[in-house]
């Protein structure tokens, strides 16, 4: 039995539905379609699935999914908390389960009707007393408001500007313009559009915010040994980590010594400690982008630059194809689809298979991150 997760498992199948503002199917149906597509991609019969992992703010559960797709007896299932912070942890949990013999074929998935479904922040009945009592009455209602607060402080402390945030939005949009399945495929962005767009929570404008999407994705994880017999080149799970920093408060991380170093820093320390390579060896990254300021913060947290240098890192086309670190090559949550970051996982797999619509030549290593600003997770993939 493996004492480490390093390269012990691989992602061997990926699947997705269409992405749109509105899809007629239910979340459950979308989930089943994405999962079956991922299993077909892997060449594995659904009856062999014995592990599931998902993350919260997901309506479909493993009971419904397992019986619909005709899974076998399931011996491992987990659901990770904190919405988008849990995306990569699904892969980490399944890798751990498969590597330790708890299961043999794991499926992680995300199905979401965000475009046509309700927005979580509109729910006043479920006003969580902690920490909502300290923020919501004052009109800090939406994730954009909560992150906007950290973004303003970040801009103030480090001289970051809206142009830096635009660099992020632009890189994602450029990649989406190359990806026919992206929601923003035929919708180019210009600096003028960005600078004159309406504010959502000043300093964040419309284009600093992710899309609202209906859609589903899934991936399949098996042991490295079995992966060699699957249809596609295995994409190994090299390292996986979760991060809940000491004295962290979630999205409203306002009550500790250093609100601008978030869960990414914690996850990153563990991720790199287990890895055979470092940030300088990452060919391409898929960085959770519910909001543009999460990119400079994550670039710092995951060690691509020093503290306070994340905004400057985005200059000179660094995030574009051919730049220092191409990111979100399918368009990300800002421009491909916002499905709580699962599209970033599948895009990472596409890059290492060499089949991305914005392929980084000879990419062999990819960092994928989950939502920064909440208890998070990340994985390193290698081919």
Partner 1 sequence: MTTAPEAAAPADGLLLPVPDEDGAPFWEYAARGELRVQACTDCGRLRFPPRPCCPHCRSFDSEWRRMSGRGRIWSYVRPHPPLLPAYAAQAPYNVILVELADAPHIRLAGNLVTSADAPLDSVDPARLRIGARVHVVFTELGGMSVPRWLLEKS
The residues of the shown chain that bind partner 1, judged by CB under 8 A, are 122, 124-125, 127-142, 144-145, 148-150, 152-153, 156, 198-204, 247, 249, 252, 254-257, 259
- Burial (CB count <10 Å: 0-12, 13-18, 19+), residue 324: middle
The smaller minimum CB distance to partner 1, of residues 39 and 260, is found at: 260
In the DSSP assignment, the letter for residue 210 is -
| Closest distance of CB 158 from partner 1, Å | 13
Q: How far apart are CA 149 and CA 367, in angstroms?
A: 27
In the DSSP assignment, the letter for residue 208 is G
Strands across the sheet containing 376-382: 76-80, 51-55, 106-113, 214-223, 9-16, 235-243, 376-382, 365-369, 284-286
| Closest distance of CB 257 from partner 1, Å | 5
| Closest distance of CB 107 from partner 1, Å | 35
| Closest distance of CB 42 from partner 1, Å | 40
Q: 322 Cβ partners below 8 Å, 6+ apart?
A: none
Q: How far apart are CA 80 and CA 63, in angstroms?
A: 16
User: What is the torsional sign of CA 303, 190, 19, 147?
Assistant: positive
| Closest distance of CB 96 from partner 1, Å | 29
Q: DSSP alpha helices (H): ranges in 70-123?
A: 87-99
Q: Is-catalytic flag, 338?
A: yes
| Closest-CA residue to 48 (of 60, 59, 56, 40) | 40
The smaller minimum CB distance to partner 1, of residues 122 and 273, is found at: 122
The smaller minimum CB distance to partner 1, of residues 150 and 379, is found at: 150
Catalytic residue among 154, 236, 288, 302: 288
Per-residue b or e along 71-102, where b marks 16 or more CB atoms closer than 10 Å to that residue's CB: beebebbbbbebbbbbbbbbbbbbbbbbbeee
The smaller minimum CB distance to partner 1, of residues 148 and 348, is found at: 148
Catalytic residue among 55, 82, 154, 338: 338
SS3 assignment, position 272: helix
The smaller minimum CB distance to partner 1, of residues 121 and 281, is found at: 121
Annotated catalytic residues are 288, 338
């Amino acid at each position: 039995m493996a004492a480490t997760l390093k390269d012990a498992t691989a992602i061997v199948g990926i699947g997705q539905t269409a992405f749109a503002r509105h899809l007629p199917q239910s979340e459950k149906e979308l989930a089943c379609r994405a999962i079956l597509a991922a299993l077909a991609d892997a060449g594995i019969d659904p009856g062999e699935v014995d592990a599931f992992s998902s993350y919260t703010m997901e309506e479909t559960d493993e009971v419904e999914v397992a019986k619909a797709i005709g899974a076998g007896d399931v011996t491992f299932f987990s659901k990770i908390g904190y919405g988008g912070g849990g995306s990569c942890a699904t892969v980490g949990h399944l890798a751990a389960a498969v590597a330790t013999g708890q299961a043999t074929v794991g499926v992680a998935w995300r199905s979401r009707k965000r475009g046509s479904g309700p927005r979580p922040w509109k729910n006043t009945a479920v006003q969580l007393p902690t920490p909502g009592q300290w923020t919501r009455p004052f009109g800090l209602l939406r994730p954009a408001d909560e992150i906007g607060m950290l973004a303003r402080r970040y801009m103030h402390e480090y001289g970051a500007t809206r142009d830096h945030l635009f660099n992020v939005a632009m890189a994602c949009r450029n990649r989406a313009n190359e990806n026919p399945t992206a929601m923003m495929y035929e919708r180019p962005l210009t600096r003028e559009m960005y600078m004159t767009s309406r504010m959502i929570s000043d300093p964040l404008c419309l284009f600093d915010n992710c899309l609202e999407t209906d859609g589903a994705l899934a991936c399949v994880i098996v042991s490295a040994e079995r992966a060699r017999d699957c249809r596609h080149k295995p994409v190994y799970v090299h390292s996986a980590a979760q991060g809940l920093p000491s004295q962290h408060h979630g999205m409203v991380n306002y009550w500790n010594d250093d609100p601008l170093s978030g869960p990414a820093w914690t996850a990153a320390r563990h991720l790199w400690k287990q890895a055979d390579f470092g940030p300088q060896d990452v060919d391409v990254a898929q960085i959770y982008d519910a909001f543009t300021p999460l990119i400079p913060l994550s670039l710092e947290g995951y060690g691509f630059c020093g503290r306070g240098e994340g905004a400057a890192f985005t200059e000179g086309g660094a995030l574009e194809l051919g730049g220092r670190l191409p990111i979100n090559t399918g368009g990300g949550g800002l421009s491909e689809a916002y499905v709580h970051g699962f599209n970033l996982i599948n895009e990472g797999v596409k890059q290492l298979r060499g089949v991305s619509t914005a392929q980084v030549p000879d990419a062999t290593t990819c960092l994928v991150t989950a939502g920064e600003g909440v208890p998070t997770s990340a994985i390193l993939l290698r081919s």
